[in-house]
């Protein structure tokens, strides 16, 4: 007699129970062999990124904050622009917040920029602009959590502390044949395994054992041990892996969809052009103090053809954006439909758009409409040294 199939919920419960019953010893790795294989691969395959090979802890800190939940390609451009504007911690600390947000515009998660700025001011005032050198001290600073503190401490200062991000977690779960389970026990297992593999502190000319190891682990997850279709045949530790392919993961939340509409209103004043923008309130829950195109009610644009259509993702929501322009001075219907208070609307010179804090969506739309120039930043060569940070 054939038994009935288990429900998905029952399977998940069984999987979690089974995982928690497996003792840690069942998933032993040969640490020295693993490190040798990993580092041999990393030395010949690591990507060249502008925040690698720098000796300034400020740059390591900046790159790690920018890389939180952000694509490497997007970070490269902003990292270089940011350092051109604020090459030192002192320059950042002395800048007004609006300038910091303006350079950060397009990276999203603007709270990171605000905390980075406040922390630079605190360090300049209280510690003469010197970052703490241990993960424990770094964690006491605003905006620096467990992952970022370990990354800075190991990469900039050589501390033997393991970094665990999504890439490292995926590598370790596959190596040990584990499924993804969001429990404290599962988290503790991954952290313990990562800590067991981290080499002892060894810093010398061109050597940073812990920092290089952490970078290599993240690089492996970012380039080979991918969430989908991992490149296992190119993996340096394939022979040590118990999964050799994708591991069982929890279902991801479905992306939400939301249509939105915005107004593009331009005017000429002599030889210059101005664009109408709305300034979000300082107490707004999302992107306070940022400029955006004035939002329009959807019923106000029915039957109109948009000037631009684009998709813009923020966390788990896809925004299907339409930008509308008034058809000449006599078409005042769209302008009257803007619900914002008159005091929140500002005419801004298009030549100043790169120096004000724009939301990422506003920047994207204005650049695609050729209202805002796209600048390609260049970064002067940095001093090379011990600190090497990693991308995800």
Residue 348, strand partner residues: 275
- Spell out the residues 6+ positions from residue 365 whose beta carbon is closer than 8 angstroms to its own: 262, 264, 293, 308, 310, 321, 323
Helix/strand/coil for 242: coil
CB atoms within 10 A of CB 168: 26
Q: Which residues are catalytic?
A: 64
The DSSP code for 308 is E
Percentages helix, strand, coil for the chain, rounded to the nearest 5?
45, 15, 40
Are the beta carbons of 321 and 312 closer than 8 angstroms? yes
Comparing C-alpha atoms, which of 237, 168, 179, 163 is closest to residue 16?
179
CA-to-CA separations, 348 to 54, 268, 279, 369, 372, in angstroms, rounded: 38, 11, 11, 16, 11
Q: Compute the Cα dihedral for 341, 342, 347, 352 and give only its sign.
A: negative
């Amino acid at each position: 007699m054939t038994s009935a199939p288990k429900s998905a919920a029952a399977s998940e419960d069984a999987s979690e129970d089974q995982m928690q019953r497996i003792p840690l010893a069942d998933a032993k790795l040969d640490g020295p062999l693993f490190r040798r294989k990993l580092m041999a691969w990393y030395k010949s395959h690591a990507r060249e990124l502008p925040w690698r090979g720098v000796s300034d802890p400020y740059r390591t800190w900046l790159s790690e904050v920018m890389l939180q939940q952000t694509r490497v390609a997007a970070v490269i451009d902003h990292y270089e622009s940011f350092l051109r504007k604020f090459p030192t911690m002192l320059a950042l600390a002395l800048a007004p917040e609006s300038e910091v947000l303006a350079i950060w515009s397009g990276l999203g998660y603007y709270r990171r920029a605000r905390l980075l700025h406040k922390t630079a001011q605190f360090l300049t005032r209280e510690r003469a602009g010197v970052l703490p050198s241990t993960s424990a001290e770094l964690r006491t600073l605003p905006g620096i959590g467990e992952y970022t503190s370990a990354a800075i401490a190991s990469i900039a200062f050589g501390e033997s502390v393991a970094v665990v991000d999504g890439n490292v977690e995926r590598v370790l779960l596959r190596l040990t044949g584990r499924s993804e389970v969001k429990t404290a026990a599962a988290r503790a297992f991954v952290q313990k395994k990562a800590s067991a593999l981290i080499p002892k502190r060894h810093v010398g000319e061109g050597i940073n054992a812990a920092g290089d190891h952490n970078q290599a682990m993240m690089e492996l997850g970012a380039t080979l041990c991918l969430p989908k279709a991992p490149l296992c045949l190119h993996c340096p530790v394939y022979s040590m892996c118990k999964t050799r392919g994708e591991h069982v993961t929890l279902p991801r939340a479905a992306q939400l969809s939301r249509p939105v509409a915005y107004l593009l209103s331009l005017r000429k004043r002599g030889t210059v052009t101005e664009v109408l923008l709305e300034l979000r309130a300082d107490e707004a829950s999302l992107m306070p103090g940022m400029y955006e195109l004035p939002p329009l009610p959807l019923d106000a644009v029915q039957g109109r053809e948009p000037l631009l259509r684009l998709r813009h993702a923020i966390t788990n929501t896809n925004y299907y954006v339409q930008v509308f322009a008034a058809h000449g001075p006599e078409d005042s219907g769209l302008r009257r439909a803007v619900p914002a208070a008159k005091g929140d609307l500002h005419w801004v010179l298009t030549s100043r758009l790169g120096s004000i804090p724009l939301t990422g969506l506003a920047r994207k739309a204005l650049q695609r409409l050729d209202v805002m120039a796209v600048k390609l930043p260049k970064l002067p060569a940095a001093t090379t040294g011990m600190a090497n940070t990693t991308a995800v």
